[in-house]
């Protein structure tokens, strides 16, 4: 179980995606959950990603300024994963 940064609820790791910041202050999506660095978990809900962008939730959690381009990348990833989950179910 991991805490969803956007809804502040405990959810299974499988239902979340990890965002990681490494020592070089590079922020990336971590689909495997194994990249080194400080991580934060967010839900696979595209509307929550837009809310996070507006309120700068990841900026505060990871302690750095997150560019809008990363939020665009994260939104696309989450939207794709949600669609995939709806099509194929849990695997």
Please give the pLDDT value at position 24.
Answer: 95
Mean of per-residue pLDDT scores for the chain: 92
pLDDT greater at residue 34 or residue 91: 34
Please give the pLDDT value at position 90.
Answer: 66
Please give the pLDDT value at position 91.
Answer: 55
Contacts of 44 (CB under 8 A, 6+ apart): 15, 16, 17, 78, 81, 82, 85
Model confidence pLDDT, tens digit, residues 55-80: 999 999 999 999 999 999 999 999 99
Q: Residue 57, Cβ neighbours under 10 Å: how many?
A: 18
In this predicted structure, the answer to whether residue 85 has a pLDDT above a threshold of 90 is no
CATH fold group of domain 2-88: Hypothetical Cytosolic Protein; Chain: A; (3.30.1230)
């Amino acid at each position: 179980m991991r805490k969803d940064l956007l809804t502040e609820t405990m959810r299974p790791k499988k239902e979340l995606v990890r965002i990681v910041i490494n020592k070089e202050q590079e922020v990336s999506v971590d689909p495997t959950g194994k990249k080194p660095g400080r991580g934060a978990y967010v839900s696979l809900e595209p509307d929550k990603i837009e809310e996070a962008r507006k309120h700068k939730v990841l900026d505060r959690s990871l302690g750095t300024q997150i560019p809008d381009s990363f939020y665009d990348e994260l939104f696309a990833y989450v939207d794709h994963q949600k669609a995939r989950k709806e099509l194929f179910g849990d695997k």
